[in-house]
Amino acid sequence: MPSSSPDVEALKQQFSDFLKRKQYRNTQERYKVLDRIAELDRHFSADELYVYMNTKGDSVSRATIYSTLDLLTKCSILMKHRFQGDSAHFELSSRMPDHDHLICVECGRIVEFRAEEIDGIRDTVAKNLGFKPLTHSLQIFAVCPDPVTCEHNGRD
């Protein structure tokens, strides 16, 4: 297995523990969804995952995908993002721990970055307010340096 891939077995174990603890059932579909997410190893929407799985020959319905994505988010295996667009985006929490996103407001380009200082701020803020910190999502809105797509002054 490629060294850069997520540790699928560890994720399955974590998922299995969660399902047992919450008394959900171990179904083939749920583990298959996790498998394919690990293969993708990038941001994806529910529908992109649905299309990907059908391309790969899995027959898993949208209902099951949405349901499983919800479970995987609840047990912190997945991180759910709401970028500007319509649909939610997900990615493995283990993929790039605590990274954040910079979004160009002109062209929609998304750049990932890591700023370690955020982790400390997150923990300090949460504790000061009496909360137990879990995770965070920082989105920086900026203008892209590409003159062709971003330095125009049009109506859109």
**Closer of 8 and 110 to its own copies (Cβ):** 110
State yes or no: residue 62 binds DNA (CB under 7 A).
yes
Find which of DNA, its own copies, none residue 55 binds, CB within 5 to 8 Å per kind.
Answer: none
State yes or no: residue 146 binds DNA (CB under 7 A).
no
**Closer of 49 and 104 to its own copies (Cβ):** 104
Give the Cβ contact number of residue 69 at 10 Å.
20
Q: Is 145 helix (H, G, I), strand (E, B) or coil?
A: coil
Compute the least distance from the CB of residue 60 to DNA, in Å: 4
User: Are the C-beta atoms of residues 116 and 70 closer than 8 Å to each other?
Assistant: no
State yes or no: residue 49 binds DNA (CB under 7 A).
no
Compute the least distance from the CB of residue 154 to DNA, in Å: 13
Binds DNA by CB under 7 A, chosen from 8, 46, 75, 118 = 46
**Residues ≥6 apart with Cβ < 8 Å to 105:** 141, 142, 143
Give the single-character DSSP code of 89. Answer: E
Binds DNA by CB under 7 A, chosen from 45, 73, 94, 139 = 45
**Closer of 10 and 115 to its own copies (Cβ):** 115
Reported for 104-113, long-range contacts at CB under 8 A and 24+ positions apart, including other chains, are 104/142, 104/143, 104/144, 104/150, 105/141, 105/142, 105/143, 106/143, 106/144, 106/149, 106/150, 106/152, 107/144, 107/146, 107/149, 107/150, 108/84, 109/144, 109/146, 110/43, 110/83
Binds DNA by CB under 7 A, chosen from 25, 55, 134, 153 = 25
**Contact footprint for its own copies (CB under 8 A):** 21-24, 80, 82-84, 102, 104-105, 111, 113, 115, 117-118, 121-122, 125-126, 129-145, 153, 155
